[in-house]
Structure 1
Amino acid sequence: MKLFGKYLLILFKSQMQYRSSFWLLSFGQFIIPFSVFAGLYFMFERFGQIQGWNFFEVALCFGVIHMAFAIAECLGRGFDMFSTLIVNGEFDRLLVRPRGTIVQVLGSKFEFTRFGRLLQSLSVLVWAISRLGADWNFMKAVTLIFMIFNGVCIFMGIFILMASMCFWTIQGLEVANIFTDGGREMAQYPINIYQKWVTRFFTYVIPFGCVNYLPLLYILDKTEGPSAQYMILPLAGCLFLIPCLLVWRFGVRRYRSTGS
């Protein structure tokens, strides 16, 4: 973590060399997602609810998943841009250093301008919490933190899988954005509004449903039966990260330099 902190400090100093550009990009990252949220607001203004979910309940779901994505995009930008390391042969340099490749790739790129997006999602989350009128307690607050943290783990896992494919394809695959950008857009709503096959896929394969929909039922007192199981379901995000790291290790062991 000390090494990772030094990476962040170096990257922050480099990005602050052009401060006007940095602040304008941060401001843009804060403003642009509001167009998505405005679409959500006007849809509920017109229809009132979606399958029993009101605006502020969906806004809470929106805030959680967008906040998780913003944090993951900050941390995992190195994996998102990993194909450039493969194409240019720069991954060879990482392999001869006496530190793990995961830490080095994480530290190779960090988008501080994404804090604008993080601030926007945080403001939506706080607004939704203040207007819901839910019966909050300590365990519900912990569950909400689990939802955000494990949402970060899921997005990070997808970024790592995308990067791992580069060991075989060299170039990154744009189709993988279906599970990052597409997953974010899908998971900003409770997943029970979709077809059953979609709900099952994003619960048992990529467990977005375990970090937004099912724990949300517990927070809003819509559960049936014991509530403890809904509180621990977000941990599926951490479990999803494990096979992603194993795929990464498998790819590193079979890496062949491009010879650039």
Structure 2
Amino acid sequence: MNLYFNYLLILFKSQMQYRTSFWLLTAGQFLVPFSLFAGLYFLFERFGQIRGWDFFEVALCFAVIHMAFAVSECFARGFDTFSSLVRTGDFDRLLVRPRSTFLQVLGSKFEFTRFGRLFQSIIVLVWALSSLSIEWSVIKVMTLFLMVVSGVFIFTGIFMLAATLCFWTIQGLEVVNIFTDGGREMAQYPLNIYQKWVTRFFTFVIPFGTVNYLPLMYLLGKSEGNELLYMLTPAAGIVFILPCLLVWNLGVRHYRSTGS
């Protein structure tokens, strides 16, 4: 972890060398997502509710998934830009260093400007929570926290899977954005508004349902049956990182140097 924080500090100092650019990009990341939220607002202004979900319930869902995406995009950006390391042969240098390639790639790039998106999501979260009549308890606070953590792990896992493909394809594949940017857009709404096969896929294969749907039903008192199962579902999203790590290690073992 000392090595990881050293990476963090070095890259933060490098980005702060151009402070005006840094703050303008951060402001842009803060303002741009408001267009998405404005679309959400006007949708509910016109139709009132969607499949039994009102505006502030969906706003809570929106805030959680965008917070998770912002944190993951900030701290796992190294996997999102990994194809350049393979293409230029720089990944060979990581292989001869006495630390795991996972840690080195994770610490190779940070996008601190993404905190602008995070701040915007926090504002939406506070507004939604202040407008909902939730009977809070310590367990519910922990569930909300784990929802965000689960989302971070899921997005990071998807970035890792996309990076692993680069061992065979060299270039990154745009189709993976279906599960990153597309997953973020889809998961900002409760999953039960979609067809059943979509809900099942994004619950049992890529478990976005453990972030924005099942535990959300527990928080809002809409769960049916054993509430403990709804409360613990974010753990499934966190566990999602484990098979992603296995696939990553498999890709590293099959990597062939560029020879440059």
**Structure 2 residue matching 1:228: 3-state secondary structure:** helix
Aligned-pair CA distance for 1:121: 0.6
CA distance in 2, matches of 1:227, 1:237: 17
CA distance in 1, matches of 2:210, 2:10: 36
**Structure 2 residue matching 1:108: 3-state secondary structure:** coil
CA distance in 1, matches of 2:128, 2:167: 42
CA distance in 2, matches of 1:84, 1:13: 22
Aligned-pair CA distance for 1:2: 0.8
- The residue that corresponds to 1:213 in the other structure is 213
Aligned-pair CA distance for 1:240: 1.1
CA distance in 2, matches of 1:19, 1:239: 38
- The residue that corresponds to 1:22 in the other structure is 22
**Structure 1 residue matching 2:107: 3-state secondary structure:** helix
Aligned-pair CA distance for 1:133: 1.4
Residue 31, structure 1, aligned to residue 31, structure 2 = yes
How many residues end up aligned between the 2 structures?
Answer: 260
Aligned partner of 1:143: which letter? T
CA distance in 2, matches of 1:111, 1:148: 19
CA distance in 1, matches of 2:9, 2:210: 34
- The residue that corresponds to 1:60 in the other structure is 60
CA distance in 1, matches of 2:211, 2:47: 26
CA distance in 2, matches of 1:124, 1:6: 32
- The residue that corresponds to 1:83 in the other structure is 83
Q: Show the 5 A alignment for 1:1-260.
A: 1-260=1-260
Q: Following superposition, which runs of at least 4 residues in structure 1 exceed 6 angstroms of deviation?
A: none
Aligned-pair CA distance for 1:134: 1.2
Aligned-pair CA distance for 1:15: 0.4
**Structure 1 residue matching 2:51: 3-state secondary structure:** coil
CA distance in 2, matches of 1:29, 1:259: 39
CA distance in 1, matches of 2:114, 2:248: 25
Aligned-pair CA distance for 1:211: 1.3
| Structure 2 residues not aligned, in runs of 5+ | none
CA distance in 2, matches of 1:167, 1:81: 13
CA distance in 1, matches of 2:210, 2:4: 29
Deviations 1:152-197 (A, max 9, x none): 0000000000000000111100000000000000000000000111
| Structure 1 residues not aligned, in runs of 5+ | none
Aligned partner of 1:76: which letter? A
Aligned partner of 2:132: which letter? L
Aligned-pair CA distance for 1:259: 2.1
Aligned partner of 2:82: which letter? F
Aligned-pair CA distance for 1:137: 1.1
Aligned-pair CA distance for 1:224: 1.4
Aligned partner of 1:160: which letter? M
CA distance in 2, matches of 1:242, 1:182: 22
Aligned-pair CA distance for 1:126: 1.0
Deviations 1:204-256 (A, max 9, x none): 00000111100001000011122111111111112211111000000000100
TM-score normalized by the length of structure 2: 0.99
Aligned partner of 2:27: which letter? F
**Structure 2 residue matching 1:97: 3-state secondary structure:** coil
